Amino acid sequence: MNTVLSTSLLILTPLLPLLLAFPALRSHLPRPCFIALLPALILLTLPQGASIDLPWLLLGSGLGIDGGVGRLLLAISVLLWMVAAHLLHTARDEPADDRVTSYFLLTLAGNLGAVLATDLVGFFTFSTLMGYGFYALLVAGGDEGRRRAARIYLIVLIVADLMLFEALLIAAATAGGLHFEAVRLAMGQSASPALYLSMVLVGFALKAGVWPLHFWLLPLFRASRPALTLLLGAVPIAIALLGFVRWLPLGEISLPTLGLIIQGVGVAAMLYAILAGVKRAQLKMLPAYAAIFATGVFTTTLGTGLSDPAAWNRYADFAYLLIVSLGLGVALLVVGIGWLQARSHFPAMTGRQADDSTPWFERWPVAIARWAAQMGGDTLPHLRAAWLAKAGALWQAHAWQRALDSGERSLQRWGYAVALFLLLGIVMVFIA
């Protein structure tokens, strides 16, 4: 009986919010976003862990939860989603509608599925659903600033997913199976894991906004409403950090040079977060710089694990605690700042807070790019002028912006997006 119950709950945890994303299935339900979390809540009350293999789904997939860090990750995710659902549906300026609720439930299904996934295929599928659902949630009813930030996030998603899909193909060709343990063992014994490691590291670094690939993170924190800002730590960032832990052959491979480089990146990220946070001193952006600092700490831990497999095997749970602390810490900062601003202790923008000028340590890439653009002005003036004219004409055309505007207007109709996700699921199941 317990096995049947745990199996049913594992399937319903991502499936119920996916089904409730269809307005016809939730039209008579009060607070469907909270109802969608019921299987996950009941699953947390079970005293033991559970797992299930679904070889017929997505070319072979599985779901599972253990009694330790997996349960803690699921519990924190459920808590943050409950708070986000409350904030989303009680916002004074943007009342909830069918479109926002559908996108919210799609993102929820992807997030819970990624936490429960036991293999690369399931993790990749659910995290992709979560990412594009979150993009739709960002642009639904958003102003121009939020849509611009969401477009940057969309480009990051596309590039990162292409890299991770390539890593998935490499793992499928190398390992006997795609479960996390099998892939870690196979990649640890592989003679040439460099391409796989590079795809995983860059792909998840883009999704997590690890410095210096954090360029999408600051605009989202600046433009998003409180419910979405609260989810930024738990949805794209925390799941990407979880992907590092589950996809990389940590504890199975020793790469001291790569580990030292990654540790250096982590230290640089922490220094950047401190310097940029002090320079800008904007209360609303405090969670963003706290997230960048936390990802720097995690990156340093990741580099240590790649350098010393024995240390990782001894302190692996510390990485999971960092992920949980990041999601929960960002959420507490967002809620606390919102409470302070609501009580007028701190205005949303003050004189110094409104100063969003670029710090000196962010201006040097722009200076280098400007210097590079001026190179060749004496040697190849005509060719350079021709290319600059073509680039200027292309920029003035704004064809890419019109295409995005058109796509986002279509996305405002939730029916199109839900139908596309349903069609994708049907095709994947029947291909399997």
So what's the pLDDT on residue 82?
87
Q: Which residues have a Cβ under 8 Å from the Cβ of 199 and sit 6 or more positions away?
A: 163, 164, 166, 167, 170
- Residue 357 DSSP one-character state: P
**Residue 333's CB: how many other CB atoms inside 10 A?**
20
Residue whose tokens read 């708070």: 83
| pLDDT, position 89 | 67
Q: Using an 8 Å Cβ cutoff, are 298 and 266 in contact?
A: yes
Tokens read off for 76: 């924190």
Q: Is 31 left (phi over 0), alpha (psi -120 to 50) or beta?
A: left
50-54 and 61-65: which strand pairing?
antiparallel
| pLDDT by residue, tens only, the chain of 432 residues | 467 888 888 888 888 888 888 877 877 788 888 888 898 898 888 877 777 877 766 566 788 887 678 888 888 888 888 888 887 766 544 444 677 888 888 889 989 988 888 888 889 989 888 888 888 888 876 667 777 878 888 888 889 999 999 888 888 888 877 888 888 888 888 878 888 899 999 999 999 888 888 888 888 877 767 777 788 877 888 899 999 999 888 888 888 888 899 999 999 999 988 888 777 766 677 888 888 888 888 999 888 888 888 888 888 888 888 888 888 887 787 777 776 766 665 444 443 444 444 444 445 555 555 555 555 444 455 555 665 665 555 554 455 455 555 555 555 554 555 545 555 554 444 444
Give the pLDDT confidence score for residue 318 in this predicted structure: 84
| Dihedral angle of Cα 138, 140, 146, 148, to the nearest 10 degrees | 100
The continuous run of DSSP H or E covering 53 comes out as: strand 50-54
Check if the beta carbon of residue 164 is closer than 8 Å to that of residue 203.
yes
Question: Dihedrals φ, ψ of 119, to 5°?
Answer: -150, 170
Rg (CA), the chain: 22
b/e map 345-382, b = 16+ CB within 10 Å: eeeeeeeebeeeeeeeeeeeeeeeeeeeeeeeeeeeee
pLDDT at residue 357, as a whole number: 41
Q: What is the pLDDT of residue 370?
A: 57
234 touches 330 (CB < 8 A): yes
Residue in the block written with tokens 């890419």: 400
Handedness of CA 326, 140, 121, 249 (dihedral sign): negative
**Separation CA 101–CA 82 (nearest Å):** 13
Q: Which residue, chain included where needed, has tokens 């797992």?
A: 51
Tell me how far the alpha carbon of residue 327 is from its chain's centroid. 11
